Amino acid sequence: MRRKTGELVPLEISILDSALDLRRRGVVEAHGFLLAKEMRDARGARRLTAYGTLYKALERLERTGCLESRWEDPAIAASDSRPRRRFYRLTLVGEAALVRAKQASLEPSLGRAAAGARP
**From candidates 23, 37, 89, 102, binder to another protein by CB under 8 A:** 37
**From candidates 39, 66, 85, 97, binder to another protein by CB under 8 A:** 85
Q: How far apart are CA 111 and CA 97, in angstroms?
A: 21
**From candidates 41, 45, 51, 106, binder to another protein by CB under 8 A:** 51
The count of other CB atoms within 10 Å of the CB of residue 67 is 26
Burial of 97 (0-12, 13-18, 19+ CB in 10 A): buried
- 36 touches another protein by CB under 8 A: yes
- 108 touches another protein by CB under 8 A: no
- 10 touches another protein by CB under 8 A: no
- 102 touches another protein by CB under 8 A: no
Q: How far apart are CA 111 and CA 5, in angstroms?
A: 24
- 59 touches another protein by CB under 8 A: yes
